[in-house]
Amino acid sequence: MNWMKLLETTAFAGSSFLPPQGTAIAAEYDNLYAFIVWASAISCAILIGGMVYFAVKYKRRSNNDKTAYITHNGFLEFLWSFIPFIIFMIVFGWGWTIYNKMRTFPADSLEVHVIGHQWAWDFAYKSGKVSLNEFYVPVGQPIKLIMTSKDVIHSFFIPSMRLKQDVVPGRYTVLGFTAEKTGDYQIFCSQYCGAAHSNMMAKMHVVSQEEYEKFLQENDDGLTLAQKGEKLYNGKGCVACHSIDGSIKVGPSWKGAWGSTREMTDGRKMLYDENYFKNCVLNPSSKTVKGYPAGVMPSFQGQLKEEDILALIEFVKSLK
């Protein structure tokens, strides 16, 4: 029986010992976990079994017994160092491959914003739909979660997807997956975040594309997230300094800015992404784009809610 066959039939992978596998990544994750368990079990049996065997075989039976002279064996020393090294490198390479798949987001990924706060999860969709502790995704569609926290560090954990990512205040973290089976899956916060931490749960509903579209249509104000951002762009005075047609004003234009690289006055080059935009809005004095005056843009700290910043981000994305 080869290793892969052994992993597929092991008592750990895809069994009742672990939550149901909701993604292909979950199956790969379980196979790696099973490999580590089996490798550890075999190593333990060899090590402990050898210790017991030698302890019994070479037990001193009388006061006249003398320890035999044992010569140095370089090959054995190399072997018991090299074999664990090979196993560790296999685990490292295998784990890195899975991690890389989890961090590679297809171009057609459906983006959903996640906001953690004591003690609930908010989900904001591009259509403008916002849900509390109820997360809907279409089956078979790559999903990219863009996550942040309003207060303390939380950790977004979906056991059936074998996915977990810390959600940090003041910055954005990302997580991706493709749900392969319809159904309801439990979401937890796996980072202690206060008195009601154990109650910070949500449900992820993996549904058909038709059901997902129906869910998105249940929008209170009928505005998409980008349209809400456009209203803020005009209402908060962003229009005075940042154009959306490429023309030059006091500040850089927002047209085509998303995903570009900006050079700062100190020579740094920064990717225009969620974290860059949020930092510019809340702490504009920390960086100034080369060719533009410093200290002109005021801070919007305390003036914009997290949901407002997400809406502005989606508006900038729509201009690319």
Task: Domain ranges for the chain, please list them.
Answer: 3-54+72-102, 110-217, 225-318
pLDDT bracket for residue 11 (50, 70, 90): very low
Determine the angle formed by the axes of helices 225-235 and 306-318, rounding to 10 degrees: 100
Is the Cα dihedral 225, 221, 236, 173 positive or negative? negative
- Over residues 48-55, the mean pLDDT reads 91
pLDDT on residue 2 = 47
- Over residues 176-199, the mean pLDDT reads 91
Over 70: is that where the pLDDT of 15 sits?
A: no
Predicted TM-score of the model (pTM): 0.79
pLDDT bracket for residue 220 (50, 70, 90): low
Q: Largest alpha-carbon pair distance within the chain?
A: 97
Distances (CA, A) of 220 to 130, 216, 224: 9, 10, 11
Which of these, 131, 118, 124, lies nearest to 147 by C-alpha position? 124
Tell me which of 61-75, 253-267, 304-318 is least confident: 61-75
pLDDT on residue 190 = 92
CA distance 28 to 34: 10
Which of these, 305, 310, 315, lies nearest to 124 by C-alpha position? 310
Over 80: is that where the pLDDT of 5 sits?
A: no
Note the pLDDT tens digit of each residue in 71-127.
788 888 898 889 999 999 999 999 999 988 888 888 889 999 999 999 999 999 998
pLDDT on residue 108 = 87
pLDDT on residue 4 = 46
Mean pLDDT of all residues belonging to the chain: 87
Give the ranges where the chain is alpha helix by DSSP (H): 3-9, 24-57, 74-102, 209-217, 225-235, 274-282, 306-318
Place of tokens 């202690």: 192
Beta pairing partners, 183: 206
- Same fold flag, 110-217 and 225-318: no
CA distance 282 to 300: 5
Determine the angle formed by the axes of helices 74-102 and 24-57, rounding to 10 degrees: 160
Tell me which of 5-9, 18-22, 181-185, 242-246 is least confident: 5-9
- Over residues 53-72, the mean pLDDT reads 81
Over 60: is that where the pLDDT of 9 sits?
A: no
DSSP-derived letter for residue 244 is S
At the top level of CATH, the class of 225-318 is: mainly alpha
Could you tell me which residues come within 8 angstroms of residue 102 by beta carbon, excluding any fewer than 6 positions away?
A: 25, 163, 175, 176, 177
Angle at 56 between CA 52 and CA 62, to 5 degrees: 145
**Do the Cβ atoms of 315 and 229 come closer than 8 Å?**
yes
- Over residues 149-158, the mean pLDDT reads 93
**Do the Cβ atoms of 120 and 155 come closer than 8 Å?**
no
10 vs 287, higher pLDDT: 287
CATH number of the 110-217 domain: 2.60.40.420
Residue type, 1: M
Could you tell me which residues come within 8 angstroms of residue 55 by beta carbon, excluding any fewer than 6 positions away?
A: none
Note the pLDDT tens digit of each residue in 268-320.
899 999 999 999 898 888 888 888 888 888 889 888 889 999 999 999 999 97
pLDDT bracket for residue 137 (50, 70, 90): very high
